[in-house]
């Protein structure tokens, strides 16, 4: 199983809702035939899908698109971020508003 987002958490629950496998970004695991629930989590967003593995079905490959999530920070590919949010953050991050000491910086937007 692969996700376009390398930070997405992948969980596979078996028919008894027990954790059968877990990974981040990609996951490869041998599972017996049965009913499974796949959960992908990126930030606060969760996507779920049921999958049936039939006996003798062999290798099953699933690919998932990157899922947008809501973030207060102006991060790329989030659900409510616009170009003008990113541009404003980039512009203001380069302007020192308070200087205390040397060699370090912190930016709060």
Residue range 33-88, pLDDT digits in tens? 999 999 998 877 888 999 999 888 777 778 877 776 666 666 666 666 667 777 88
How far is 67 from 51, CA to CA, in rounded Å? 19
Burial of residue 40 (CB within 10 Å: 0-12, 13-18, 19+) is buried
List beta partners, residue 39. 11, 48
Structural contact between residues 25 and 2, judged by C-beta atoms closer than 8 angstroms: yes
Task: Tell me the pTM.
Answer: 0.60
First CA to last CA distance, the chain: 36
Tell me, what's the pLDDT at 1? 75
Return the pLDDT at 79. 62
């Amino acid at each position: 199983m692969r996700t376009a987002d390398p930070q997405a958490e992948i969980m596979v629950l078996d028919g008894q809702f027990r954790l059968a496998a877990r990974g981040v970004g990609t996951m490869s695991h041998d599972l017996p035939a049965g009913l499974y629930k796949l959960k992908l989590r990126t930030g606060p967003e969760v996507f779920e899908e049921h999958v049936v593995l039939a006996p003798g079905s062999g290798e099953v490959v699933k690919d998932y698109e990157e899922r947008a999530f809501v973030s207060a920070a102006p991060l790329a590919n989030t659900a409510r971020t616009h170009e003008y949010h990113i541009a404003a953050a980039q512009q203001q991050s380069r302007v020192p508003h308070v200087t205390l000491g040397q060699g370090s910086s912190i930016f709060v937007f």
